[in-house]
Amino acid sequence: MSETMVAFANTEGGTLIVGLDEEGKPTSKIETEKFEKALNDADASCNPPVVLGSWEQVEIDEDGSSVYSLRVPRSIELHALTDGRVLIRSGAKNRPLGGQEILKLVSAKSTGDFESEVVPGASKNDFSRKMLDEYLAKRAERTKRPYNGKIDDLLLEVGAVNADGKPTVMGLLLFSEYPQHWLPQCSVVFAKFVGKTPRGENGLAGYSRREEITGPLSKVIEASWNLIWSEMAVSAVVKGLEREETYEYPQFAVREAIVNAVCHRDYRLKGRRIEIRMYSDRLEVISPGGLPGFITVENIVDEHFSRNPRIVNGLFQWGYIEELGLGIDRMMEVMQQAGHKPPMFDARPYSFAVTLYNAREKPSAPAWSRNTNHRQARALQYIRESGSITNREYRSLCQGVSAETLRLDLVDMVEQGILLKVGSKKGTYYILK
Portion of the chain with pLDDT greater than 70, in percent: 92
Q: How confident is the model at residue 124 (pLDDT cuts 50, 70, 90)?
A: very high
Residue 364 pLDDT greater than 60, yes or no:
no
- Cα dist. 430→20, 192, 395, 422 in Å? 71, 27, 14, 6
Amino acid (1-letter code) at residue 345: F
Domain 373-432 in the same topology as domain 185-357: no
Residue range 54-89, pLDDT digits in tens: 788 887 776 667 889 998 988 878 899 999 999 999
Q: What are phi and psi of 192, to 5 degrees?
A: -105, 120
Instruction: Give one DSSP letter per residue of 297-333, joined into a string.
Output: TTTTTT----S-HHHHHHHHHHTSSSSTT-HHHHHHH
CA-based nearest residue to 111, from 76, 80, 79:
76
Q: What are phi and psi of 61, to 5 degrees?
A: -150, 160
Amino acid (1-letter code) at residue 33: E
State the DSSP H helix or E strand holding residue 137, giving kind and residue range, or none if neither.
Answer: helix 129-143
This prediction's pTM: 0.67
Q: Give one word for 112, left, alpha or beta, with left for phi > 0 and alpha for psi -120 to 50.
A: left
CA-based nearest residue to 245, from 397, 336, 377, 338:
377
* CATH 1.10.10.10 is right for the domain spanning 373-432: yes
CA distance 421 to 193: 28
Determine which of 51-55, 219-223, 343-347 has the lowest per-residue pLDDT on average: 51-55
Helix (H, G, I), strand (E, B) or coil at 374: helix
Residue 24 pLDDT greater than 70, yes or no:
yes
Q: How confident is the model at residue 13 (pLDDT cuts 50, 70, 90)?
A: confident
pLDDT of residue 368: 37
Sequence-distant (6+) residues with CB within 8 A of 34 are none
Helix (H, G, I), strand (E, B) or coil at 336: helix
As a residue count, the chain comes to: 433
First-last CA distance in the chain:
73
Query: Is 323 or 192 the better-scoring residue by pLDDT?
Result: 192
User: What is the CATH class of 185-357?
Assistant: alpha beta
Mean pLDDT rounded to a whole number for the chain: 87
Sequence-distant (6+) residues with CB within 8 A of 334 are 250, 252, 253
Sequence-distant (6+) residues with CB within 8 A of 248 are 232, 233, 234, 235, 358
Residue range 233-279, pLDDT digits in tens: 877 656 556 666 778 999 999 999 999 999 999 998 888 999 999 99
Sequence-distant (6+) residues with CB within 8 A of 79 are 5, 6, 9, 10, 46, 47, 48, 50, 86
* CATH 3.30.950.30 is right for the domain spanning 2-109: yes
CA distance 235 to 250: 13
pLDDT of residue 193: 92
Question: Any idea what the Cα angle at residue 380 is, between residues 378 and 384, rounded to 5°?
Answer: 115
Sequence-distant (6+) residues with CB within 8 A of 244 are 236, 237, 238
- Cis link prior to 167 (omega < 30° from 0)? no
- Cα dist. 142→71, 136, 256 in Å? 22, 10, 19
Domain ranges of the chain: 2-109, 116-177, 185-357, 373-432
CA distance 351 to 291: 8
State the DSSP H helix or E strand holding residue 357, giving kind and residue range, or none if neither.
Answer: strand 351-357
Portion of the chain with pLDDT greater than 90, in percent: 43
For 233-313, strand residue ranges (E) read 233-239, 242-247, 274-278, 282-288
Residue range 154-184, pLDDT digits in tens: 999 999 999 999 999 999 999 999 999 999 9
Question: Any idea what the Cα angle at residue 162 is, between residues 156 and 163, rounded to 5°?
Answer: 85
pLDDT of residue 361: 59
CA-based nearest residue to 49, from 36, 58, 38, 40:
40
